[in-house]
Amino acid sequence: MNVALKTRILPAGEAAVAAAASCLAEGGLVAFPTETVYGLGADAANPAAIARLYQAKGRPAFNPLIAHVGDLAAARRIARFDTTATLLAEAFWPGPLTLVLPKAADCPVADLATAGLETVAIRVPAHPVALAILRAFGGPVVAPSANLSGHVSPTTSAHVQGDLTGRIDLIVDGGAVAVGVESTIVGCFEQPMLLRPGGLPRAEIERVLGRALAQPPADPDADSGQPLAPGMLASHYAPRTKVRLNADRVEPGEALLAFGPAAVPGSDGAAAIMNLSPRSNVDEAAANLFGYLRALDTKGARAIAVTPIPNHGLGEAINDRLRRAAVGRD
């Protein structure tokens, strides 16, 4: 972006909600808190605003966006809900679940936001500020995570400011988010498919469905020529510092990202140490994950050594993000 924008920062409240709604209506870009991570919103029906959004994030335009709406009735104007989709929406919305569904005939979401796919990703966020903005604006808002493309998702407004000041119009500061990892994405295809593990644990979805979620094919591009979850690039969510997984000790000069109460050998020589959850709670670890990665990324460490994290509950999403952070950074 050539000319730096003046980015306003407002504390969450009635004035911020009104400012956000009018900014969106004018084609502006507004960062706001959701329960998962901060989102960067634009009017889903305004292609010029969406083009600005891709540019502000440095995001490839083949990576489609999630449309955020205030309730299931609004979602039904965008997409076609079969019985499975209705079941999941009624069970988990508002909440950290995104559904990928066939577009409705007169879907108002611009093709640019769906990267030309026949499907659209939708969610109803469970955050009072996000819902108030959606209600005040009155239409669907596309919102990727409010970080520069490829960077770690923001869980505080300070993270958003660090990445996007001068590139967007408004940041609504609603404090730290509760969940800390992005929404779980389920494709409502013939077989409901887990496209991205996230803030809603797989087991809760499978309990409601009464069956296991299908896994995406190992190489989703192979059959259809179109990726099922185009944003799931192998290297994503990456701090600048190399990430080393499943560490059972810290090498000199490494930073340590620990989990649980156990002492980690070599800690004395660590450049920095943070513990995602000393009491081994995966929900607490998810809430801390991106903030701690950002903090350890500033320590000038040789690498960030991460101890093993159990895969149950939100652990699946944590391990997914950590694997992506570790890819291709040796």
Enumerate binding residues for ligand TXA (CB under 6 A).
34, 36-37, 39, 63-66, 98, 100, 114, 117, 119-121, 125, 143-145, 182-183, 185, 195-196, 228-232
Q: Which is nearer to ligand TXA, 59 or 244 (CB)?
A: 59
- Asked if 166 contacts 5 with a C-beta cutoff of 8 angstroms, the reply is yes
Q: Is residue 159 left, alpha or beta, with left meaning phi > 0 and alpha meaning psi from -120 to 50?
A: alpha
Q: Is 145 in the site for Mg ion (CB under 5 A)?
A: yes
Q: Which amino acid is at 108?
A: P
Which CB, 196 or 294, lies closer to ligand TXA? 196
**Residue 64 interacting entry, from ligand TXA, Mg ion, none, C-beta within 5 to 8 Å by type:** ligand TXA
Name the one range near Mg ion by CB under 5 A: 14-22, 142-150, 164-172, 319-327: 142-150
Contact between 156 and Mg ion by CB under 5 A: the answer reads: no
In the complex, least distance from residue 58 CB atom to ligand TXA, rounded to whole angstroms: 13
Cα–Cα separations (whole angstroms), residue 159 to 113, 152, 155, 173, 285: 24, 9, 7, 11, 18
3-state secondary structure of 142: strand
Query: 68 labelled as ligand-binding?
Result: yes
54 is in an annotated binding site: no
Q: Is 26 exposed, middle or buried (0-12, 13-18, 19+ CB in 10 A)?
A: exposed
Which pair of structure tokens corresponds to residue 239? 């701090």
Q: Is 34 in the site for Mg ion (CB under 5 A)?
A: no
- Where does the chain have alpha helices with state H? 14-25, 47-57, 72-76, 83-92, 128-137, 157-164, 202-209, 221-224, 282-296, 315-326
Pick between residue 128 and residue 230 the one whose CB is nearest to ligand TXA.
230
Establish whether 22 is an annotated binding residue: no
The two tokens of residue 83 are: 């019985």
Report the C-alpha gap between 254 and 269 in whole angstroms: 8
Nearest approach in angstroms of CB 91 to ligand TXA is: 17
Considering the complex, what minimum distance in angstroms separates the CB of residue 53 from Mg ion?
Answer: 12
Dihedral sign, Cα of residue 193, residue 84, residue 91, residue 66: positive
* From the list ligand TXA, Mg ion, none, partner contacted by residue 154 (C-beta under 5 to 8 A by kind): none
Interaction between residue 183 and Mg ion (CB under 5 A): no
**Minimal distance, residue 154 CB to Mg ion, in Å:** 9
| Closer residue to ligand TXA (CB): 12 or 229 | 229
Binding-site annotation: residue ranges for ATP: 59, 63, 119, 145, 153, 196, 237
Annotated binding site: 36, 59, 63, 68, 119, 123, 143, 145, 153, 183, 196, 237
Residues that bind Mg ion (CB under 5 A): 145
